[in-house]
Structure 1
Amino acid sequence: MQDRPLVVVLLATHNGAAFLGEQLDSILAQRDVDVRIVVSDDGSTDATPALLAGYAADPRIELLPAGAYGSAHANFLRLIRDAPVEGAAAIAFSDQDDVWNDERLAKQLEQLETADAVSANVIAVFEDRRVLLDKAQPQRELDFVLESAGPGCTFVLSPAAFELVRHVVRTDPEAGAAPMHDWLVYAVVRAAGMRWHIDPAPVIDYRQHASNVTGANVGWRQARTRLQRMRSGGFRRQAAVVARIASRVAEGDARARLVALAALLERDDARARLTLLRGVGSLRRRASERVALAGMLLLGVW
């Protein structure tokens, strides 16, 4: 009988006991693949450590020494740096509070046959409704500077793509300053010229609750938060960090474009905004977001 492919799943936890058991069960129940879950806990003070200790009796689960990292981004960077991934056919990322479709990894491994990394849409699960989050618009040349491919909990990387990301996390001086691990991962893979596939079919139930670090960009509160971040210049500064990191893995003309774009994002003047406006078509996947970005640039809001 032929061995099943091994997928190493990187799981970051912090005070997630309320949902973690259901998440672990859904990963361990994946069809047609073998899984090894590597867990990094960020100083949990609830029942998470005890729950993990119980699950660690399963040889498919490996607990890294617990630490204090202070954010989901830092905790995932720790996993990228330190998790053992030898023998893996692919490396996947997991939040602590979702529920995976049981064929999720098998389907995404098939997609990796023609791509270097894959992600997918999700179903955002609220207390009173379920909402499809659609991130599968056609990719644009530089969309990775302003956005991720979608929730990082849907990412699956080939070993080559993961090793590139690991190298960047271990060596780039700005990796820790990137806004979120998923945005950073997407930017590194795309800037290097690797192929990324975004599947329109949802693969997980993306649970929404009061403790979400980021969560779904749905509703007026999320829209208000995003607008405030854009008006403050915070989003531009974050995008500039991503562009600089991406430029250091890109080559030739792509590197020059990213260096120039990073410099524009650091500026807040009319000339920089007009230059960004001319290239807005390459910066967002969704047409409505390209229109919105153009409007904010014209109004001087962004």
Structure 2
Amino acid sequence: MVAPDPVDARLLAMLAEMGRAAVHELAARLGMDPREAATRLITLSGSGLPLLVGVECDPNGIRKALANSVAWGSYTGPVQSGPVPGGPVQAGPGHAVRGTPSGAYPPAPGTVRGTPSGSYRQGPPSGPFPAQPHPVPTAQEPLNTWGPPQSSSWARGDHAPAPKARTGKIGSTLETEGLEGARFTIQLVEVVDPADFLFTAAGYKLADGERAVVVHTELANTGTVTFNALPDMYLVLMTGTGETVGKAPVSLSSRPPHKIGVQPGETAGGHTVYVLPENTVVTSVRWSSRPETDLNTLVWTVDD
């Protein structure tokens, strides 16, 4: 077997750490394009490594999507089998799934802002389906901010509604929309700062002059479209100097991470870990559906 290049080595190291994960989640932790990660994993799987790249779905959801494809009128081919970026990846047998809830959370020192909520409810993951023309909205189904794609209102800004309030404090629940028409609310439940004890208890080490922060958020899908992304993919900390701190590629067994996919009517929670300089002042937490900010970006102020 040919030795893997540095990118493959990072993929394998993270996969060995997690044991089992969806490709989207694995790619997000490494800051990679999920399609590139999937291609590399499939190649590595065929090289003789004890690595299985698979795919799973919600059977009822897939059957419903296939039934609706006749009405959409643009999907006529067969369903292709084989690995896709949203499928699970498992490195050999006997590996535990990291981040599985393990009962009550142990207390941790440091400032805990907010009140932890109860159980987590996670619906079955559902991968993206081929893009289809949007149906004409009815009176009960309001238009998206910029109108249906491919329509004249999509490119026009004169009919765009005024931006909604997208700011709050720890404990606030804010409403927003996703890139695929999903409607949901996100609550910033708590911010544990510092969270060094949780970080080291999970087997990780902080360098001198570093500290850990853990942010707990919950996403409630209030619409009729499945939320298919990782809820905290672009959840960042804002500092007093205007810089952003992205999530660390680690997960804590005592504070389960987010999983990909939230079905309509369901609520899913998760924890995001950050590592930053010890003296850095965190002023706010920002959520976006994409790397850059837009009208749907949410911001929660963190009080000192």
TM (normalized to structure 1)?
0.28
Higher normalized helix content (fraction of residues): 1
TM-score between the two structures when normalised by the length of structure 2:
0.28
Q: Which has the higher strand share?
A: 2
